[in-house]
A and B are shown apart, each in its own frame.
Chain A
Amino acid sequence: MADSSWLSKFPKMDRSTLLEIRKTLDGLYRDFSREYGDLIESFFDPLLDFLIWFEKLLVQSPWWAVLICITGFVYMASRSKKLSVGVVVAFLLIGYFGMWQDTMRTLSIITVCTLLAIALGVPIGILMARSNRVQSVVTPILDVMQTMPAFVYLIPVVMLLGIGKVPGVIAVIIYAIPPVIRLTNLGIRLVNKEVLEAATAYGATPMQRLLGVQLPLAGPTIMAGINQTIMMALAMVVIASMIGVKGLGQPVLKSITNQYFTLGLFNGLAIVALAIIFDRTSQAYAKRTQKHVQGGHHD
């Protein structure tokens, strides 16, 4: 009778075995991070230097100079006066409510994360579009990256690199990079077959096809991916603040633990303002560069 107990109870492994597995894995990883942690950390040193330099630049420059630069950049990209005025008003309000420094820190880390995500994501997306095999390997990894709770992969990153800016950047990138990879892949795969065939028929090399046809035509889709990546990076700011990333996330974290509703709301609104600025600017830029495609009165 005792033999059939698996019918009423799920046959699970011994508590001791499970403990053993956990201990072994934790031990292995701990050894690994002790052994190679410094090496890996030094590998990220240039990134850290850049992060610190960029943050200093934004935080220590006079606020009006930074504001002029940001507004100028937004206007260059979007060619929209309305949006530029909106940017000025938003940043003046943020400064007036005393969140200038935190906003600059967040802005700097988001900018770096986005640039890194594009630099890594677009090439991966291109590789995926070229080979079905790569696609079938990368797609499930992206699924995991997008669904795995952020805290879970924060643990090994922190164990390896400690608390600070670099692990924050890595965490943000892991969370935010999937859209740009997916949409680069999709955009290239959706490029009109006949246009690509025409390029081939005229003797274009694979590189000429990629740079002259595939990437430009996939442009709007890739831009949509970049836009999503920026939004997701901003959403990660609060979580990243838990591992020591300074910026708008930390006051929000403080308000959760101390139940400061107004403080949380103000900083939350500042994040929203940044998100809207990023979103509208990148969309206006994408639309402007794709004008010719819809630009006609014919069908």
Chain B
Amino acid sequence: MTNQQNKPVIQVRDLYKVFGKHPAKVMPMVKEGLAKDEVFAKTNHNVGLRSINLDIERGEIFVIMGLSGSGKSTLIRHFNRLIEPTEGKILVEDVDVMKLSPKELETFRRYKMSMVFQSFGLLPHHTVIDNVAYGLSIQGVDKATRNAKAHQWLETVGLKGYDDQYPAQLSGGQQQRVGLARALCTDAEILLMDEAFSALDPLIRSEMQDQLIELQKDLNKTIIFITHDLDEALRIGDRIAILKDGNLVQVGKPVDILLNPADDYVEAFVKDVNRPRALTVETVMRPPAHRLTADTIGEALKEMKRIPSNYAYYINEDGFQGVVCQEALEEAAKDDLKAPMDEFDTEGVEPVLPGASLESIIPETLEADFPIPVVDADGDLQGELSRTHLAGVLSDFYETEETQQSEKQ
């Protein structure tokens, strides 16, 4: 498997899906690019998907997002062939899913992929533990082994002690945790999640999102996640694909989608996004302008005078040390020019992490007299963020300028 490490896990090539009695007859029309409505008016056939090409990488959370009717649920059902395409290819680890015989397809579904459903799809007549172990029971694993494993997963998703309850006795959020545990219990590498959190209320939903991100850190599965909620997509997605009327409109990292929407449709989506929550510091920070690396106060003062600003970030071999302002440095220089910089009292500005959301650092940025430093976990200075810059990013007015900036980087 190691030789496949860098290859996309799932490759979708020229996938078309037309719903209706004689899809093959309608295909030429669809390929000509006739709009969905026109095709439907003329032939009573519904275009589900049109010319989809996608590469999904190992270990990423790939979000497919679109409004209802955009074909996202149709697309995800192609990956495990719950729906047959009209035309096109889907390769999962170089295996053409369309060419599998019914028996091979069953094996493929048992071991390669597992799925989480919008309205949970739990078996109401089985207990929670039997639901979690369902995939293993289909595989023919003996009861003791599968129950032990199911029990473990149930504990992982936070439902310890619910083994013998029936799904109807659980709340929606708990039921979906059972659904998630069931999907994880088969150890399949690929996890399909069809609007998995859409039926849950907002509080439980964000809890589940956190849990998924947390789990993914350990599991490193390839997750394909369907949603109609851009906030959700931005929050959990490593990459996002946007579908409209069965067409793929844009594929990219959350920041790209947010800052460079491909067309008006995506832009309309992006407009309503809670930006401070969706953007992280590293996506908008600027390179640090001024650094001091001197060993003594005197040399530091010299360096400081050369830069067109009254503050700088002091860095030594151990990394970022703190913010130094010119006034304080001059004050210290009066006492002793030779004093080592290590003992100099820097300004009390707490650095922020690159991965922090803008929302969480708004107060610090506004209160600080200087642009706040962005320092990674190793202690290295990565960039800076000023309050004017932050205000700009968060307002629409600034958008175009920011777009150009991020392109240059």
Report the minimum CB–CB distance from B17 to chain A (whole Å): 17
Assess whether B166 is in contact with A293, with CB atoms less than 8 Å apart: yes
Tell me whether chain A's interface is mostly helix, strand or loop, or mixed.
helix
Is A14 part of the contact surface with B, judged by Cβ < 8 Å? no
Report the minimum CB–CB distance from B121 to chain A (whole Å): 3
Which residues of chain B are near A298, meaning CB under 8 Å?
A: 168-171
Tell whether A197 pairs with B121 under 8 Å between CB atoms, given A202-B114, A203-B108, A203-B138: yes
Tell whether A195 pairs with B121 under 8 Å between CB atoms, given A201-B109, A203-B109, A208-B138: yes
Is A296 part of the contact surface with B, judged by Cβ < 8 Å? yes
Tell whether A195 pairs with B118 under 8 Å between CB atoms, given A200-B82, A202-B186: no
Which residues of chain A are near B109, meaning CB under 8 Å?
A: 200-203
Which residues of chain A are near B125, meaning CB under 8 Å?
A: 216-217, 219, 290, 292-293
Most buried by B among A199, A292, A297: A292
Which residues of chain B are near A200, meaning CB under 8 Å?
A: 82, 109
Bound CA–CA A208/B106 (angstroms): 11
Complex interface residues of chain B between 126 and 183 (CB less than 8 A to chain A): 127, 134-135, 138-139, 166, 168-171, 182
Report the minimum CB–CB distance from B139 to chain A (whole Å): 7
Closest A residue to B131 by beta carbon equals: A198
Closest B residue to A294 by beta carbon equals: B168
Is A295 part of the contact surface with B, judged by Cβ < 8 Å? yes
Assess whether B106 is in contact with A203, with CB atoms less than 8 Å apart: yes
Contact with B along A256-299 (1 / 0, CB 8 A): 00000000000000000000000000000000001011111110
Assign chain B's interface to a size class.
20 to 34
Which residues of chain B are near A198, meaning CB under 8 Å?
A: 115, 117, 121-123
Assess whether B166 is in contact with A296, with CB atoms less than 8 Å apart: yes
Complex interface residues of chain B between 8 and 25 (CB less than 8 A to chain A): none
Tell whether A202 pairs with B117 under 8 Å between CB atoms, given A197-B82, A217-B124, A298-B170: no
Contact with B along A200-237 (1 / 0, CB 8 A): 11111100100011001101000000000000000000
Report the minimum CB–CB distance from A161 to chain B (whole Å): 42
Assess whether A194 is in contact with B169, with CB atoms less than 8 Å apart: no
Tell whether A205 pairs with B106 under 8 Å between CB atoms, given A217-B124, A295-B166: yes
Bound CA–CA A11/B168 (angstroms): 66
Assess whether A203 is in contact with B170, with CB atoms less than 8 Å apart: no
Chain B interface residues (CB < 8 Å from chain A): 80, 82, 106-111, 113-115, 117-125, 127, 134-135, 138-139, 166, 168-171, 182, 186, 192
Chain A interface residues (CB < 8 Å from chain B): 192, 194-195, 197-205, 208, 212-213, 216-217, 219, 290, 292-298
Q: 3 smallest A-B Cβ distances: which pairs?
A: A203-B110, A198-B121, A296-B169
